Amino acid sequence: MLLERRALQTELPALAGLGNVDLCELLASLGFPVDGVETKQGETILEVDITANRGDTLSQRGMARDLAAKLKAPLASLPHTQLTEGPALFPVRLEADACPIYATAILDLGANAGTPTEVVSFLASMGSNAKQLPAVDASNELLHRYGHPTHAFDADTLKGTLLVRWGREGETLRTLDGVDRKLTSNDLVIADEAGAIALAGVMGGDATKVTSDTKRVLLESAWFDPRVVRRMAHRHGLHSDASYRFGRGADPAMAKIARDLLAARLQAWAGATLKGAWTAGQIPEARPAVTLRLGTLGRIAGAPIDLAEAAAHLVQLGCSVKIQGEELCAVPPTWRHDLALEEDLAEEVLRLRGFDCIDSVLPPLEGAPLPLAPNYLQARNLAYRLAHVGFHQTVTLGFISPDADAAFAGSDNPAEGRTLGNPLGQEYSVMRASLLTSLRATAELNLRQGAKEVKLFEIGPIYRSTGNGPSEVMVLALVWTGTLGGEDYLTRARAVQAADLLGVARDLGAQGTPQVRELGEGMLALEIPLADLPAHEERIIPKFTPFSRFPALERDLSLLVDLAQPYAVLASAMTEAVGKAAGECFKGLGCVDVFRHKSLPAGRQAWLLRLRFQAGDRTLTSDEVDGWVTAALEAARTLGAELRG
């Protein structure tokens, strides 16, 4: 935000003896760092950073008020002559809770004497050009000087009752920037009987704007719910000076005062005649008191602070304070909507007391660490296991282009429910429906750089369109492409196969057979919801099994099987048969060689299967091992396998 040194000093005369460097340091000490200082037409302009929760400082007087609390100096009195209100000359009806108060007045404009030179200069300092329309320039000047947005309508263009209501589906409004905007039931509008004439708290309408031909104006000074204004400004991509202030919380008590100030300026600048002033609604009820305990203040400060000192600082900020034992109760002023917790009050005390008064040694931190969330542990364990088998983890953006999204979204997941209203660009405008879009692009980039084999995975959210907006689903995606083996003459090179990827999925605990997708040029991928994978189990120390002191025995079976025979089916049948016969003595079954040759019967291949046995309490005999091997062979024969001669 821009501050004009002269206007700031008008609100706080105590700044007269303070140099620019000292003023910048003072602002920084209050949490408002100064980004730059420049001189424009003889005026010193400061550019100051203001956090989103401090809407009360978005004006010359608002910032002066904060400086006055630090300096313990009085603010200049507000040049305010209160208007005498009477019956409404123009009906105003409030139909939305988002606008509890609407102060207005009607004035007949006299000869247009133009905007005073000092106001033109002040608006230029604020980066705004004077329009030489007193009603418009006075409204802009009040906004920058006192922080409360106002508006003036050409009263002769209004038709019937003035309404503050919610928009209607299909309703349109041409705003002052000349853009026709489609309204929804979530838009708060000012309307007359012909339709919407302004977006409340954001921008006025073109049809009722003040021009050089305007003879009569109706003033608007209201308070609008910050959340409603922020949503409207974001929805329409329309961020005005008014929405910037209303969206961060204006002072509802300023509604009548700003109306009176605007009317007084029109009377002084344009010889306007006040015809009447009135108010619809009333100021919202005072917010509840916030309690600050002595223990909380000391804990946050790291040192004891007397409650009387804390109360004095809060009073300087405009709070009403009462001390009761070891706590104080403070009612925040109407302009400080950000003071809602006792921690907020403690921070304000420390800010005014001075950050340099805080001890440089951190207070001790105690407490047992909280357990990690199960979904985090599940994702971490999956990442560890995949990294151990050679996969590399990627982290990609959650926003993609509509074209890239269409390749994986599916007809049941339309992009309309996942499209951003204000994207960074077309290529980042849709919330992704799949991780495979970005993983494929990353894998292709690695292949172009000469990688022989690419193994990637990502754990992250994807989105589905629903009637209530996009819903999030955490998934695991794998991409595997390139050539396996070929490093030496014993390992033949081959392309990645679907079975390789399914084997990884099975090792991770995936149930059933996940769908493997072909992404082109030998690139294979699959995507599994984390809900379909085993949850994280609590760490349990396993029971120790002593190592056997007796020798292990191995037996090989060379079997002829059909070329289409699934290995998993055969191995499962043999393992079950041997396990029943040998019990704990059976240690495992594995295929150690596959032989295919024209010398074998047509449609057959040879598998060399190795069975391993070991007992923990004795040396196994050949007879009992031969019996177990026979059981395995019989199980294999039931699936069409036979012993190779």
Superfamily of domain 553-643: Ferrodoxin-fold anticodon-binding domain (3.30.70.380)
How far, in Å, CA of 39 to CA of 23, rounded?
A: 15
Q: Is 63 left (phi over 0), alpha (psi -120 to 50) or beta?
A: alpha
How far, in Å, CA of 192 to CA of 157, rounded?
A: 10
When the pLDDT of each residue in the chain is averaged and rounded to a whole number, the result is: 92
Whether residue 305 contacts residue 354, with contact meaning beta carbons closer than 8 Å, is answered with no
pLDDT at 197 over 90: yes
- Say what the alpha-carbon torsion angle 589, 590, 592, 596 is, to the nearest 10 degrees: 100
Identify the band that residue 87 occupies on the pLDDT scale cut at 50, 70 and 90.
very high
Domain ranges for the chain, please list them: 2-71, 92-281, 290-357, 374-532, 553-643
- pTM for this prediction: 0.64
pLDDT at 7 over 90: yes
The contacts of residue 331 (CB under 8 Å, 6+ apart) are 286, 287, 288, 289, 290, 319, 320, 321
pLDDT at 366 over 80: no
Whether residue 615 contacts residue 561, with contact meaning beta carbons closer than 8 Å, is answered with no
Identify the band that residue 367 occupies on the pLDDT scale cut at 50, 70 and 90.
confident
**Residue linked to tokens 């005369």:** 13
Q: How confident is the model over 571-580, as a mean pLDDT?
A: 95
| 290-357 and 374-532 share one fold | no
553-562 and 517-520 strand pairing? unpaired
pLDDT at 388 over 70: yes
Q: Is 79 left (phi over 0), alpha (psi -120 to 50) or beta?
A: beta
Cross-strand bridge partners of residue 292: 328
pLDDT the model gives residue 521 = 82
How far, in Å, CA of 476 to CA of 460, rounded?
A: 7
What CATH number is given for 374-532 in this structure?
3.30.930.10
Identify the band that residue 363 occupies on the pLDDT scale cut at 50, 70 and 90.
low
SS3 for 126-152, per residue? CCCCCCCCHHHHHHHHHHHHHCCCCEE
Q: Where are the alpha helices (DSSP H) in 285-431?
A: 294-301, 307-316, 342-353, 374-388, 402-409
pLDDT the model gives residue 279 = 96
Quick check: helix, strand or coil at residue 27?
helix
The fold for domain 2-71 equals Phenylalanyl-tRNA Synthetase; Chain B, domain 1 (3.30.56)
Name the burial class of residue 129, with classes exposed (0-12), middle (13-18) and buried (19+) by CB atoms within 10 angstroms of its CB: exposed
Architecture of domain 92-281: 3-Layer(bba) Sandwich (3.50)
Type and span of the H or E element at 185 = none
**Residue linked to tokens 């004891």:** 304
CA-to-CA dists, residue 263 to 85, 95, 135, 148, 394, angstroms: 13, 26, 9, 14, 61
Between CA 132 and CA 141, with CA 138 as vertex, the angle to 5 degrees is 105
Identify the band that residue 458 occupies on the pLDDT scale cut at 50, 70 and 90.
very high
203-204 and 195-199 strand pairing? antiparallel
pLDDT at 113 over 80: no
Q: How confident is the model over 437-457, as a mean pLDDT?
A: 93
Q: Indicate the range of 60-74, 107-121, 290-304, 577-591 predicted with least confidence.
A: 107-121
Quick check: helix, strand or coil at residue 476?
strand
Q: Indicate the range of 42-56, 539-553, 627-641 predicted with least confidence.
A: 539-553
CA-to-CA dists, residue 424 to 319, 400, 427, 504, angstroms: 42, 11, 8, 37
pLDDT the model gives residue 356 = 82
Q: How confident is the model over 80-86, as a mean pLDDT?
A: 90
Dihedral sign computed on CA atoms, order 400, 401, 402, 404: negative
pLDDT at 539 over 60: no
Dihedral sign computed on CA atoms, order 80, 86, 92, 98: positive
162-166 and 92-94 strand pairing? parallel
pLDDT the model gives residue 469 = 79
For a pLDDT cut of 70, what percent of the chain falls above it? 98
The verdict on domain 290-357 having CATH code 3.20.20.30 is: no
- Say what the alpha-carbon torsion angle 133, 136, 140, 141 is, to the nearest 10 degrees: 50
pLDDT the model gives residue 5 = 94
The contacts of residue 265 (CB under 8 Å, 6+ apart) are 134, 138, 141, 142
Q: Indicate the range of 243-257, 526-540, 548-562 predicted with least confidence.
A: 526-540
Q: How confident is the model over 58-79, as a mean pLDDT?
A: 94
pLDDT at 491 over 80: no
How far, in Å, CA of 152 to CA of 79, rounded?
A: 21
Quick check: helix, strand or coil at residue 591?
strand
**Residue linked to tokens 């821009």:** 2
pLDDT at 112 over 70: no
How far, in Å, CA of 194 to CA of 161, rounded?
A: 10
pLDDT the model gives residue 541 = 62
For a pLDDT cut of 90, what percent of the chain falls above it? 80
pLDDT the model gives residue 364 = 67
Identify the band that residue 540 occupies on the pLDDT scale cut at 50, 70 and 90.
low
